[in-house]
Amino acid sequence: MTLVEPPVARPYRKFLPAELAVQYLDAAGELTESEARYPRPADDRLVEMYRNMVLGRRFDQQATALTKQGRLAVYPSSRGQEACQIAAAMSLHPGDWMFPTYRDSVALAARGIDPVQILSMLAGDWHCGYDPAAHRSAPQCTPLATQLLHATGVAYGEHRKGNDTVALAFCGDGATSEGDFHEALNFAAVFKAPVVFLVQNNGFAISVPLARQSAAPSLAHKGVGYGIGSEQVDGNDPVAMLAVMDEAARFVRAGNGPVIVEAHTYRIDAHTNADDATRYRDSSEVEQWLGRDPLARLEKYLRGKGLLDDAAADALTADAEVAAAELRADMNVDRVGDPMDLFRYVFAEPTPQLREQQAQVQAELAAESEEN
């Protein structure tokens, strides 16, 4: 008879999901009376966050307008989710890695990447308009949840090298229904890969509501089953988002293994400019979430503490308008592409079939040139 050893007692983990989402500011921007689970961010960091959010929202608005002008094929707006994305970007060190989804353009902008390069993929120029290695930011990922495995692999590799590197992986609530999500969490848990998984739960996987995706009390609780740090936070509360993301990054960097953070937020605009959100949600629901606007909440808080006045707010608005005008001008410049790039970056050593296709295109271009 083989005796089964009892499970080893595990130490209490600091990151266990709060019964209610962590919140510091109520919908009106006033401090709540609930007990703080994590240190409140310093005032200067909250002022920096407000600046990033103002610039990020204007960038998002301008990108949405560019789709109507034919300069972008498609754009997935992140209006209403700015606090999630900015807090995530600000929690990272320069040497850390970010793994964004197609909806995380504002986070990339907060990392200092040129907005024109961010939008390049959506304009049809390249699969990734920026240098991932230079910015320590992976290409924006369209397939759901695949970037979570990439983040886990990079984090584990950096850990094996002895580097002090954290990987932060974004995903939405829809991605938690994918197998890659569970595989990434399980691998990261077993091998203690230094990853922060940020789930922006905006209520819908395109048109499928969360209630049709999961029966768990929260998506953060999925991390408990894998034995990793887990937390849920009001994603429209900028103070809470920055507090939780800062602490999650510190916790992971200290060698405690991965953390999953669920941010309860809302996608104000449609899934993309090609989507009709009125077919699956009521306008009253959108209006309710507009009353929890993260930018307005942080502005109210900063003004109440004397950290923001009309002059500073007006100056920041002016800076955002200048940035938007520069983006419009740069995106209105037609790009001249080299057709041979279709073949140049497919394989290190082109296959015979690829060489044949390249020769065919070259012949067609030469014939067209002679006709003109």
The pair phi, psi for residue 290, each rounded to 5°, is -60, -30
Q: Which two structure tokens, joined as six digits, stand for 214?
A: 């999961």
268 burial (CB, 10 Å; 0-12 / 13-18 / 19+) is: middle
Q: Which two structure tokens, joined as six digits, stand for 235?
A: 């994603």
Residue 136 CB partners (closer than 8 Å, separation 6+):
94, 95, 96, 97, 98
Lookup result for tokens 């907005």: 115
Of 298, 196, 293, 299, nearest to 239 by C-alpha is 298
First CA to last CA across the chain, in angstroms?
A: 87
Amino acid code (one letter) for 179: G
The pair phi, psi for residue 360, each rounded to 5°, is -65, -45
What three-state secondary structure class fits 23? Answer: coil
DSSP 175: G
In the chain, % helix, strand, coil (3-state, to 5) comes to 50, 10, 40
DSSP string, 119-171: HTTTTTS-S-SS-HHHHTBPPPB-STTHHHHHHHHHHHHHHHTT----EEEEE
DSSP 49: H
Instruction: Compute the distance between CA of residue 202 and CA of residue 263 in angstroms, rounded to an integer.
Output: 8
Q: Which residues are catalytic?
A: 267, 271, 280
The pair phi, psi for residue 180, each rounded to 5°, is -60, -35
